[in-house]
Each structure stands twice: as C-alpha cells, then as structure tokens.
C-alpha cells in the first residue's frame, strides 16, 4: 500500500530527475496503467489502476517505464516506434518497422527502467509491465500492434487500388 503523500513525493522526485511532468488522469483507458506524451514530456498515470493499493514498486515501475520511452525518443532509440506521429501519418515502410520492432522496443524500455530502479531505488523490486517473455511478447505482437496492423492493411489496399487504376488508365 502506498500513501498519497509517498506517491506525490515519488512523482516530484522523478519529474525533476527526468525533466518531465507527471500527472494523474482518470480519462485513460481502464486497462492502461500509464502513458507518455514524448512531445509534451509528460507522463500520465491512471488513478483507477495505480490506486493506493498497488505496491510502491509497481507505482515506481510504471513511471520509470514511461520515462524510458521518453529517453528513447530523446536519444533516437527505436525511432519509428517512439515517433509521436499518428499511425495514419506513417508510411507503409514505417508501419512495418513499427510492428516489427514493437516487442524489442518494449523490452529495451523494460531493461532500461529496471536498471534505473536498481540505481535510484535499491531494495525495491522492479515490476515488469509485460510480465513473462512469452505472454508479454504475444500481447505486444497481437493486441498492442493491432491498430498499426489495421492501418497498414488499409494503406496497402489503397496502394493496390491506386496501382490498378493507373494500369487501367495507362494501359
């Protein structure tokens, strides 16, 4: 159990450390623990998920995980995956890269966040956001990238239609 005062202190400390804003927002989807807006340098926490009943380790882990996404954006690691651009604005090639690198990008974020936890909060266990390698991998490759795969398919179909129209017109 984590008290509101302890949560506030952790949020302030990590916000200063990473030069980011950390806020609570009840409008996040119910299964979303936290999110990072890389352009705004803001971590949004879901108070419905990260309640006072979660452990200190899980609370800190969620923040560090999102801060690691910001670090990746700032340093250009897994650039397409951490792009703030909407999926609809990505090219077919970028969407394929996004889908192909999603799991590796999330694992990189997890390893980075775990290392930060060991240094900043020794003695507190990092709570792996995606759980075991098998189930986390499946979830990221299916559920997490589902929207990107739908956008990719629509763009591919449009490209095929355009190609067929051009063939009919030219010939």
Mean pLDDT by groups of 10 residues along the chain of 171 residues: 90 97 91 91 92 89 96 95 92 93 92 97 91 69 86 91 84 66
- Name the token pair of 19: 């030069």
| pLDDT of res. 144 | 82
| pLDDT of res. 113 | 97
| pLDDT of res. 114 | 96
- What range does the domain containing 128 cover? 4-170
Rg over CA atoms, the chain: 19
Number of domains in the chain: 1
Rounded to 5 degrees, what are φ and ψ at 100?
Answer: -70, -30
Q: In what order do the strands lie in the sheet with 21-24?
A: 21-24, 42-45, 34-37
């Amino acid at each position: 159990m984590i008290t509101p005062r302890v949560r506030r202190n952790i949020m302030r400390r990590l916000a200063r450390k990473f030069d980011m804003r950390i806020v609570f927002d009840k409008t996040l989807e119910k299964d979303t623990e936290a999110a990072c807006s890389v352009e705004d340098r803001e971590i949004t926490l879901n108070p419905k998920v990260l309640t006072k009943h979660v452990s200190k380790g899980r609370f800190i882990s969620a923040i560090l995980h999102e801060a690691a996404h910001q670090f990746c954006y700032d340093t250009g690691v897994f650039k397409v995956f951490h792009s703030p651009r909407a999926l609809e604005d990505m090219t077919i090639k970028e969407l394929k890269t996004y889908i192909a690198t999603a799991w590796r990008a999330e694992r990189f974020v997890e390893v980075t966040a775990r290392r930060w936890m060991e240094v900043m909060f020794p003695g507190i266990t990092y709570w792996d956001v995606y759980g075991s390698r098998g189930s986390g991998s499946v979830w990221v490759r299916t559920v997490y990238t589902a929207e990107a795969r739908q956008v990719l398919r629509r763009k591919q179909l449009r490209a095929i239609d355009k190609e067929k129209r051009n063939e009919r017109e030219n010939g």
